[in-house]
Amino acid sequence: MSYTVHKMIHGKKYAYEVTSFWDPETKKVKKKNKYIGIVKEDGEVVNKHTVIKKQEKAVLDFGDGYLLHHFIKKSDVFPLLHDIIKNHPECISLIIYRLCYQSAMYNASNWHEGNVVSVLSKDLDLSSQNISRILAYLGQENTQRHFFQAYLNSDINCHGNVIIDATSLPNQIQHDFSQWGYADSAIEKQFRLLCVVNQHTKMPLFYRFLPGNIVDISSLQRTIQELDLMGAKNNFVLLDAGYCSKDNIVDLYQKKIDFLVRLPSQRTLYKETIRHHAESLENLAYATQYGTRSLFVKTIETKDLYGHEGYLYIVLDPSRKGKEVNQLVGAYLEETNNAPERQEAFDFEFKKSGIMILISSKKIEKSEVVSTYYMRQSVEQIFGFFKDDLDSLPIRRHNDATIQGYLFLQFIVLIFFIQLRNALQKKYTVEQALLITRNLKCKIFDSALLVSEANRKQTEIYSLAGVMVPKNLGI
C-alpha cells in the first residue's frame, strides 16, 4: 500500500511516495520513502524524471529589425543622437519602423508587436498619444540645435565643401508655413525643405523648414549664417541657379566662401556672354569629356563679377544643342509673327542652344568644372529618398511642433538610410536588403530567442552592414 506525503526542507516542499511493507525478519510493518519531486505552489508535483518542455511563445520578424537595431547602435552618428533621445528610447524603434515600413506613424505599435525590436527594446510606449509627445519634443528648437551643433562639428563632417538646394513638400493642411508656391511647374500649397549636403561624403548635414512662398534666392544668406553660428565652417558652396543673385554673390565674397553656381539665362551677364562668345565655342581647344559625353568648355576670367574677380565657364553640350535646335527650327518655321522682336528672340535662343554658363569665385580646370557642378545631383537623390523611399509625403500632422519633429525624425532616418545604402555597396538597395532579411524569423521561448537559419543573401547583407547573425539570444 502506497501514499504521498509532503515534507518542508529548507523552506522548499518536496513530495515522497510512502510504501508500507512486512519485514519478515523483525516481524513488523515498516515504511519505505521514495523521493518523487518538488511540489509547486499550486500543489502540482514536478517529477524528478520529468523533462520540462520550454513552450514556444511567439514567432517574430527578426532579420530586418535586428540588422537595423545593431547597425544604428554602431553608427558614428548614434552617440551624437543618444544624448538627446536617452529619455525617449522609443525614438530608435520609430527610426527602425520608418526604415522598414512607410506606413502611418499610428501603425508603429502594431509593427512593434510582431518584430524582434519589441524584445531588444522592452517596455516601450508606441501609442499614438506618446508618439505625438515624442514628435513634439523632437520639434523643439533646443533639441534640434543640440544635435546639429554636435553633428556639424564632429569628425563625420570635417570636409568644408557643401551643396545647398531646396525642394517642395506639397500638403493640404492648415498651417502658417503651408503657402502657395511653384512646385514642378504648378502652383500648389507647400512647405519648402532646404537641405545642405557634404560634397565629399554626400551625407545630409542640415536642413531648414521654410514657408512655401519663400523663394530660394532669399534663403541662402540666412542658411550660411546659421551654419556658421553652429560652428560649421564652409570653404566652398555649390548652388543651383535659384540662389544666384548679386546680393548672394557679394555676400559669399565678403564671407570669403568660394562658390560655383549656374547663371540664370534671364541675367544680363548671361545674355552678354552668349552674344560675345557663343559662336566661338565649337573649337577643339575647348574640348573636354564628361563621362561618355563630349563637351566644349570655355573659361573666361573677369574682374567684374558683381564687382569682384571671378570666372565664367561657358559649357556647350553638342548633343543637347542638336535636340534644342531641332525643336527651335520647327517652332520658327511655324511662326506667323514676323515682328523684329520675335526674330531677335529666335536668334538669341538659337545662339544659346545647348549652352549653360557657370560662375565661380575660383578657377576650376575645364575637365573638372562640369563634374563638380553635377555633384548637385547628390541633393536631388537625397530629395528622392526623402520623398519616395521614406514616403514623407503628404505631410498630415497639423501641430507646428509635431510637424517640425516629424521632419527632424525623417532627417535622422535619412542619415541612417544613406549610411546603410553606402554599406551595401550597390549590391542591394536598402529596400531589397530589408525585404530579404525580413524573411529571417525567430522563435521566442520563456528565456531564450532561437533564430532560424540564414540563407546566403541574408548572411551577405549582414556582413556588408557589419552585423553578425546570431543563432540564439538570451532574453
Write the pLDDT tens digit of every residue in 360-388: 999 999 889 998 888 877 677 777 766 66
Give the pTM. Answer: 0.74
User: What confidence score (pLDDT) does residue 300 get?
Assistant: 94
Note if the bond before 470 is cis, omega within 30 degrees: no
pLDDT class of 233 with cuts at 50, 70, 90: confident
Instruction: Tell me the three state secondary structure of residue 309.
Output: strand
pLDDT class of 212 with cuts at 50, 70, 90: low
Lowest mean pLDDT among 51-60, 63-72, 160-169, 421-430: 51-60
Amino acid at 285: A
User: What confidence score (pLDDT) does residue 382 get?
Assistant: 74
Average pLDDT, the chain: 84
The x, y and z cell numbers of residue 121, run together, are 527594446
Residue 240 has pLDDT above 60, yes or no: yes
- Cα separations in angstroms, 110 against 41, 97, 104, 114, 246: 36, 10, 11, 7, 53
Write the pLDDT tens digit of every residue in 105-164: 888 999 999 999 999 988 899 998 999 999 999 999 999 999 998 998 887 766 678 888
Write the pLDDT tens digit of every residue in 24-67: 777 777 778 777 777 777 777 666 555 444 555 678 999 999 99
Write the pLDDT tens digit of every residue in 303-322: 989 999 999 999 999 999 99
- Per the DSSP assignment, residues forming a β-bridge with 168 are 192
- For the chain, the residue count is 475
Distance, CA of 354 to CA of 273 (rounded, Å): 14
Using alpha carbons only, give the angle 34, 36, 40 rounded to the nearest 5 degrees. 145
Write the pLDDT tens digit of every residue in 249-279: 999 999 999 999 999 998 999 999 999 999 8
pLDDT winner (highest mean) among 39-43, 237-241, 285-289, 381-385: 285-289
User: What confidence score (pLDDT) does residue 181 get?
Assistant: 46
User: What confidence score (pLDDT) does residue 470 get?
Assistant: 85
In this structure, the strands spanning 161-170 and 186-198 are: antiparallel
User: What confidence score (pLDDT) does residue 232 get?
Assistant: 77
Residue 428 has pLDDT above 90, yes or no: yes
Rounded to whole angstroms, the maximal C-alpha distance in the chain is: 141
- Per the DSSP assignment, residues forming a β-bridge with 147 are none
Distance, CA of 45 to CA of 16 (rounded, Å): 10
User: What confidence score (pLDDT) does residue 52 get?
Assistant: 45
User: What confidence score (pLDDT) does residue 398 get?
Assistant: 58
Query: Which DSSP helix (H) or strand (E) runs through 225?
Result: helix 220-229
Share above pLDDT 90 across residues of the chain, in percent, rounded to a whole number: 45
Distance, CA of 474 to CA of 454 (rounded, Å): 19
CATH topology of domain 143-317+354-389: Transposase Inhibitor Protein From Tn5; Chain A, domain 1 (3.90.350)
Instruction: Output 468 or 105, whichever has higher pLDDT.
Output: 468
User: What confidence score (pLDDT) does residue 213 get?
Assistant: 63
What does the domain layout of the chain look like in residue ranges?
A: 2-47, 58-138+399-474, 143-317+354-389
Amino acid at 183: A
User: What confidence score (pLDDT) does residue 167 get?
Assistant: 78
- Cα separations in angstroms, 125 against 93, 195, 400: 10, 32, 22
- Please name which of 357, 361, 236 lies closest in space to residue 307, comparing C-alpha atoms: 361
Share above pLDDT 70 across residues of the chain, in percent, rounded to a whole number: 87
Over residues 421-450, mean pLDDT:
91
Lowest mean pLDDT among 70-74, 253-257, 336-340, 436-440: 336-340
User: What confidence score (pLDDT) does residue 12 get?
Assistant: 79
The x, y and z cell numbers of residue 316, run together, are 556647350
User: What confidence score (pLDDT) does residue 287 get?
Assistant: 95
